[in-house]
Homo-oligomer: A and B are copies of this chain.
């Protein structure tokens, strides 16, 4: 006899099917004691026959023991975000948390859509947002939020500090004899990036010019094209620093195809950098630390404990020497 599908099967259905009470069903299913072996089996059979599945909502209501957080990522296929996501997943698992992942596809609209529904599904939110603070605030309504890589007076945020790392990168290039060092930047808005600023500062300490800068699209092809353009305009460049590893890998390809000698240093320090040949030298971010920090901060916010602040929330980029420079 098939059950009506639109109607949910409850614990009471199982109870009456097995000829017992709710409580006995609950005991059978949750492996509590105080139940006869035979009765237990009968209940289990009835539950299976009816296709009974307990409501997670009802259970959560009466026993609110599980916490789950939302992880918002602009593009899971971008290896950097993949690493951050994996790290956050690991940190959350260590706490027994569940992680609901949202890929906003680099779109403000998707971000908004996510924000609308996320509030009703998770206890806290962690990740990347491009929306305005006002808009974020409206939909999160006091829910703990941890932003990554974006400062905000309103929300907790973990900060990426790359000045020192980029300086060591430039130092490294200079001590290898490079004087004309270019950069492949990426600018999503009109203004240049933090990384560009760090680069300029580092170059300044050596009294070097920072005129050889081009912007690239965020892809291997984008990096390849940008480097061609850069070398076209500044043939004397002997080394480049790039906005991130993806662009650097594209640059590396151009270097090889042109048969040129050119030092390349990327940014992010992705594992992906060990896949290419030569392996990519990069100013590395500890993605595991980023994920762990974000989750840790969410935990504190959730527990009402003293949240991390100041330097405890920054991740320092460090030069990771491999082969490309």
Contact = CB atoms under 8 A, between A and B. Distances in A.
A275 interface: yes
A66 B117 contact: yes
A100 B103 contact: no
Contacts of A77: 82-83, 86, 271
Contact of A82 (B58, B82, B141): B82
Which of A83, A103, A256, A272 gathers most chain B CB within 10 Å?
A103
Given A57-B60, A275-B220, A277-B253, A76 B66 contact: no
Interface in A45-91: 47-48, 51-61, 64, 66, 68, 76-77, 79, 82-83, 85-86, 89-90
A98 interface: yes
B61 A142 contact: no
Number of copies: 2
Contacts of A110: 93
Contacts of A252: 277
Contacts of A52: 142
A209 B156 CA distance: 62
Given A52-B142, A77-B86, A121 B98 contact: yes
Given A54-B120, A56-B120, A141 B48 contact: yes
Given A48-B141, A68-B121, A276-B275, A86 B76 contact: yes
Nearest to A65: B120
Contacts of A143: 53
Contacts of A47: 141
A274 interface: yes
A134 interface: no
A315 interface: no
A249 interface: yes
B142 A48 contact: yes
A217 interface: no
A101 interface: yes
A126 B154 CA distance: 37
A275 B249 contact: yes
Contacts of A141: 47-48, 53
A57 B101 CA distance: 19
Nearest to A99: B101
B61 A76 contact: no
Contact of A76 (B5, B8, B89, B102): B89
Given A52-B142, A60-B60, A66-B117, 7 more contacts: A56-B121, A59-B120, A76-B82, A86-B103, A90-B103, A99-B100, A249-B275
15 contacts: A56-B120, A56-B121, A58-B61, A60-B60, A60-B120, A66-B120, A76-B86, A79-B79, A82-B82, A89-B103, A93-B110, A96-B117, A98-B117, A220-B274, A275-B275
